[in-house]
């Protein structure tokens, strides 16, 4: 259950980052409201999950999903530039998160 909360929190992090962009410096009210809702949900779920998870792997998953999700969202829907290097870098971020997670598994 805690890992599900971290994953959902990571997607909510993508939401608050996108809303931050769409707010144009906190000048558009609805994206600011979205930013607050997504941010509170993301931090709230991460906080709850950290009660039973190690902070390093959980934080890595949360930020990895948020960073990769935001980059992908920007490229697909916001007109951000797309390059092979960006796509490879996103894959490397995700590989690092998986590696960190696997390194903490008990054998």
pLDDT for position 107? 47
Q: Is the pLDDT of residue 106 over 80?
A: no
Mean per-residue pLDDT over the chain, rounded: 94
Residue 14 CA to residue 7 CA, distance in Å, equals: 11
- pLDDT 10s digits, 60-88: 999 999 999 999 999 999 999 999 999 99
Q: What is the DSSP letter of 78?
A: S
Contact 75, 86 (CB under 8 A): yes
Helix (H) or strand (E) holding 13: helix 2-22
Q: How confident is the model at residue 39 (pLDDT cuts 50, 70, 90)?
A: very high
Q: How confident is the model at residue 19 (pLDDT cuts 50, 70, 90)?
A: very high
pLDDT for position 100? 83
φ and ψ at 83, to 5 degrees?
-145, 160
């Amino acid at each position: 259950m805690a890992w599900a909360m971290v994953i959902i929190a990571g997607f909510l992090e993508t939401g608050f980052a996108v809303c931050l962009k769409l707010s144009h410096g906190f000048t558009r009210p609805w994206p600011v409201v979205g930013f607050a809702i997504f941010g509170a949900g993301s931090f709230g779920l991460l906080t709850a999950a950290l009660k039973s998870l190690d902070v390093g792997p959980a934080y890595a998953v949360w930020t990895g999903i948020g960073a990769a999700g935001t980059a992908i969202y920007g490229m697909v829907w916001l007109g951000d530039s797309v390059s092979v290097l960006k796509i490879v870098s996103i894959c490397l971020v995700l590989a690092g998160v998986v590696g960190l997670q696997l390194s903490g598994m008990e054998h």
